[in-house]
Amino acid sequence: MLCRLRTRFPLPAFCLALLFAFTAATAFAQADKVTIGYSKLIISLPVFVAADQGLFAQNGLDATLEEFETAQPLMDALVSGKIDVAGYTAYAITMNASLRAKKDLYYLTSLVEDAKHPISKLLVKKDSPVGSIAELKGKRVGILPTIAYKLWMEAILAENGVDPADVTLQNVAPPLSASALESGTVDALFTNDPAAAAVLKSGLGRELVTGAVVPEFLGSPFPFASFNIAKAYADAHPAVVAKIVKSLDEAIARIDADPAKAKRSMEKFVKDTEKPFVPFYSDPFYLPSAQFSGADLEAVMERYLALKMIPAKLELKDMALSAKK
């Protein structure tokens, strides 16, 4: 056999090396291939950690990541069947898309925003005369181009006595956020990282509202986003889904244990000009799958229904995935 062949290596070492190579090759051959769509935003941090720190591979997944600028086109791709696995996406985006497309989706883990873990930032130029949300009346506010940021901004304006119709909301892609604010194309920005950190740390802008603006006016803690898998795909590939659940749960544990190290995993996924700002990104907080049940998901849906951010109820009782499934 092979271990009996002459070799310049000691026989035991050669056999061990051969065994290791065979085992590694077998493990790779058995890895389940999966394409995971992600939004190039801080909210997708568990995906970045799982990929960069090898958790997908360790759990038997040969994962290909597909990039989307924001969560809106990401969710559009999911409900149209172009991809089957995607995250993270704001609930306002996901639930409206699911209703519109009549697409059943599973929800996995939950991103929560509160005073200690702000995500969205409402920014103005450093020398702007605007001093309050009420003073945004008649102004132009650049928003992350998603239905979630539109709905949240409209609700925040209304909570501060401003008719949303009196404010121009303008979609601004993350890479264009700083230039849009600097040039005066918009008077304010409502966005998250990477754009928010770039504006603040470059000295271009300041926070109009310090801290977590969405929870402050819409309730804290605020259910922000989840990771989603098409039901048809999940039901047909339970082993793959179990590996995804395990990978994201482990990524969330690492985020909790060392947020700074976790954020460094995002450096591979941003532009070179954005890398210096990564340490200043928000520290998002996630509920792992074991802490996010079907009842919790239904409560999120009821919350968005009460806020009039979705037009109807969804059947979500059995749509929260956990490590036990």
**Are 132 and 190 members of one domain?**
yes
**Are 207 and 283 members of one domain?**
no
**Are 190 and 309 members of one domain?**
no
**pLDDT at residue 310 in the model:** 97
Phi, psi (rounded to 5 degrees) for 65: -95, 130
**Are 107 and 229 members of one domain?**
yes
Asked if the structure places residue 299 within a domain, the reply is yes
**Are 100 and 243 members of one domain?**
yes
Asked if the structure places residue 53 within a domain, the reply is yes
Q: State the Cα–Cα distance between residues 169 and 59, nearest whole angstrom.
A: 43
Asked if the structure places residue 24 within a domain, the reply is no
**Are 109 and 239 members of one domain?**
yes
Asked if the structure places residue 10 within a domain, the reply is no
Asked if the structure places residue 3 within a domain, the reply is no
User: How far is it between the farthest Cα atoms of the chain?
Assistant: 85
**pLDDT at residue 4 in the model:** 37
Q: What is the pLDDT along the chain (325 residues), one digit of tens a residue?
A: 333 333 434 445 544 454 454 444 444 458 899 999 999 999 999 999 999 999 999 999 999 999 999 999 999 999 999 999 999 999 999 999 999 999 999 999 999 999 999 999 999 999 999 999 999 999 999 999 999 999 999 999 999 999 999 999 999 999 999 999 999 999 999 999 999 999 999 999 999 999 899 999 999 999 999 999 999 999 999 999 999 999 999 999 999 999 999 999 999 999 999 999 999 999 999 999 999 999 999 999 999 999 999 999 999 999 999 876 4
Instruction: Answer with the one of 152, 180, 211 that is the final residue of a domain.
Output: 211
Asked if the structure places residue 216 within a domain, the reply is no
Cα–Cα nearest to 171, from 142, 207, 136, 199: 142
Instruction: Answer with the one of 145, 178, 211 that is the final residue of a domain.
Output: 211
**Are 158 and 237 members of one domain?**
no
**Are 98 and 232 members of one domain?**
yes
Domain count, the chain: 2
**Are 226 and 87 members of one domain?**
yes
Instruction: Answer with the one of 156, 183, 211 that is the final residue of a domain.
Output: 211
How far separated are the first and last CA of the chain, in Å rounded? 44
**Are 203 and 235 members of one domain?**
no
Sign of the alpha-carbon torsion through 176, 39, 94, 288: negative
CATH of residue 39's domain is 3.40.190.10
Q: State the Cα–Cα distance between residues 92 and 310, nearest whole angstrom.
A: 7
CB-based contact 81:5 (threshold 8 Å): no
Asked if the structure places residue 131 within a domain, the reply is yes
Asked if the structure places residue 288 within a domain, the reply is yes
In terms of residue numbers, what domain contains 200?
121-211
**pLDDT at residue 30 in the model:** 82
93-112 b/e (C-beta count within 10 Å ≥ 16 → b): bbbbbbeeeebbbbbbbbbb
**pLDDT at residue 324 in the model:** 60
Q: What are residue 320's DSSP bridge partners? A: 107
Question: Is this model's pTM higher than 0.85 or not?
Answer: yes
